[in-house]
Amino acid sequence: MLKKIQKKLTKKISKDIICSEENGAIKLEGEVNTWNKVYLSGKIAANSSYRGVINKLKVKNLNLPSISKPLLKDTKLQNKKVDVLIIGGGIIGCSIARELSKWKIKTLLVDKEYDLAVHTSSRNDGMIHPGIAPRPGSKKAIYNSRGNKMYTKLAKELDIEFNRTGSLILYDKWYLKFALPLLKIRAHENKVRMKFLNKKELKKREKYISAEIEGGVIFPDAGIVSPYKTTIAFGESAAINDVEFSLDTIVTNIITENNEIKYVETNRGKLYPKIVINAAGVFSDEIAEMAGDRFFTIHPRKGEIALLDKKKGHMLYSILSKPSLNFKSTTKGGGLVKTVEGNILAGPTAIEQPFKEDYTTTPEGLNAIINKHLKNIKGIRKTDIITYFSGIRASTYKEDFIIEKSQKINNLVHAAGIQSPGFASAPAIAEDISKITIDILKEKTRVVKKENWIPKRKKILTLKDMTFEERNKLIHKNPNYGEIICRCEEISKGEIIDAIHSPIPATTVDGIKKRVRAGMGRCQGGFCAPLVIKILNEELSKDILEITKKGKDSYMVVEETKRDDKNV
């Protein structure tokens, strides 16, 4: 097998690529001219019986930036002992933390960022996929199906908005309907409900649909959540059940001995966990390498998304997409999604690129979104776009989830390679990772479930959703709820203060934004940002010059303009 792949890579990519075997995976080394050749080499190697691809190929004259690190350095965690250490504060890490909080154990979650859901878990469309896209029998298919069903109950327990709107796959050529039976076969294999809609039925459901659309297929179990609010909700639920969180904490090294992790080094001290869970997203391959268990590589796949003004939200109900019918594609093609808050999201794109933290957007990406998706709804224009952003998918070359106990390190568990449909799959992944973890822990010590576990978490109240009488009563009790700070989203001072003092406190402008949406409207914080800064200053007793947008050195105010003459 190795010689066969070596020969294929030499012929199709470069004679300078060297193949070897390591940890049950195929390892690629050498130098090529472009990133695309790195990616294509990995895909060729993945089409084999090896368990994974370790792609160490370098691109000539391309220097990849090192991982961004927190500025903080202290000894807060020095010599701290825990039962379980979770690395990563995205949807996977937080859902695992909540699941483990059901047990009488000491669990600590660390993340290198200033808040939860900073990377992929806040940079997606929040879709709870129905499960039609994954290859039957794959981990994606299994976890997507299980996870989707769990969200109805979870939405009630976590007090999050969840709209099961259904997802529509559209076709605009009459002859494409003859290819749709392929979807029926896939739906049967993945146990996904579906129904064909003709043009008249589709128009009845989506009255603003483009006249060019001939029909579609509805998958009624698809839904939408707010990705950042949902991640934070999982985290807060874990926190109220005694899981510890340490943000601004980066893992710098993992020391192993006799195939077991002995301790973990961070910028805040040395940790001694009995078990480590690798849920580090795009950096999960680097964590695996630190622990001496590298058998996969994350190749970053960027997706750009456009956000439309709420005033066009009434023009869409379901999730709409017009993807390729090629089931071998690594992307579902994006679409139009109505968020739980009422905006429409368009995208994402799917571009292979080498940078794990590159969230730039491009004219090409935005134009691709406009040309592909906006035309599917009559009356939506590019002038309705109020902002755009991007996210990075944590893709492996095998294009499937890695959910398993390490085959090499006895106290390491992997929850890696989680790309779409990762959000839909997260609760089911958490169940299995928790079971694996507890089984390992039971070999070391006695573990029992909590008798007083708290399943319900309350969200920050939303003033604009209240009746006039409810608002009046609340404002009379606390006048802060009567002072509107964000006019676009109608967010009060009281809601912002609640976010600052929530179980996982918001200490930055973006932290407030993710929890209560101050700054997410048409003006994108142009009016309310200074007011939010002032509230953070007052509530945290923190100098205004120290208030940041998103941690580190992203200071919102650089200098005072009015000072006494003697201080000038």
How many Å separate Cα 212 from the centre of its chain? 34
Residues 6+ positions from 452 with CB-CB distance below 8 Å = none
Q: How far apart are CA 61 and CA 106, in angstroms?
A: 46
- Work out the number of other CB atoms within 10 angstroms of the CB of residue 63: 7
Residues 6+ positions from 185 with CB-CB distance below 8 Å = none
119 a catalytic residue: no
- Cα first-last separation, the chain: 73
Which amino acid, one-letter code, is at 537?
N
Residues paired with 215 in a beta bridge: 171, 198
Residues 6+ positions from 385 with CB-CB distance below 8 Å = 306, 307, 308, 309, 346, 366, 370
Decide if 336 contacts 321 (C-beta within 8 A): yes
Residues paired with 492 in a beta bridge: 484
Question: C-alpha angle 458/454/448, rounded to 5°?
Answer: 155
Q: Which of 119, 129, 373, 414 is catalytic?
A: 129
Helix (H, G, I), strand (E, B) or coil at 334: coil
Which amino acid, one-letter code, is at 266?
T
Residues 6+ positions from 400 with CB-CB distance below 8 Å = 135, 138, 139, 140, 417
How many Å separate Cα 306 from the centre of its chain? 17
Beta strand pairing status for 167-171 and 319-321?
A: parallel
Q: Which residues are identified as catalytic?
A: 129
